[in-house]
Chains A and B, each alone.
Chain A
Amino acid sequence: GAGVSQSPSNKVTEKGKDVELRCDPISGHTALYWYRQSLGQGLEFLIYFQGNSAPDKSGLPSDRFSAERTGGSVSTLTIQRTQQEDSAVYLCASSPEGDRPLGGANVLTFGAGSRLTVL
Chain B
Amino acid sequence: RKEVEQDPGPFNVPEGATVAFNCTYSNSASQSFFWYRQDCRKEPKLLMSVYSSGNEDGRFTAQLNRASQYISLLIRDSKLSDSATYLCVVVSGGYNKLIFGAGTRLAVHP
Asked if A and B are interacting partners, one says yes
Q: How large is the interface on B (under 10, 10 to 19, 20 to 34, 35 or more residues)?
A: 20 to 34
- B42, B46, B95, B97: the one contacting A45 at CB < 8 Å is B97
The reply on B19 being an interface residue by CB < 8 A is no
Number of residues from A at the complex interface, CB < 8 A: 28
Tell me, rounded to whole Å, the shortest Cβ–Cβ distance linking A86 to chain B.
Answer: 19
The reply on A112 being an interface residue by CB < 8 A is yes
Q: Is the interface of A mostly helix, strand, loop or mixed?
A: loop
Q: Are A56 and B43 in contact (CB under 8 A)?
A: no
Q: Are B91 and A101 in contact (CB under 8 A)?
A: yes
Which single residue of chain B is at the shortest CB-CB distance from A3?
Answer: B43
Residues of chain B from 38 to 86 with CB closer than 8 A to chain A in the complex: 42-46, 49, 51
| In the bound complex, CA of A106 to CA of B31 (Å) | 13
Q: Which of B46, B96, B101 has the most CB of A within 10 A?
A: B96
Residues of A within 8 A of B13 (CB): none
Residues of chain A from 19 to 54 with CB closer than 8 A to chain B in the complex: 31, 33, 35, 41-43, 45, 48, 50
Given contact pairs A45-B100, A99-B95, enumerate 6 new A-B contacts (beta carbons under 8 Å). Answer: A91-B44, A100-B95, A102-B96, A103-B49, A108-B46, A113-B43
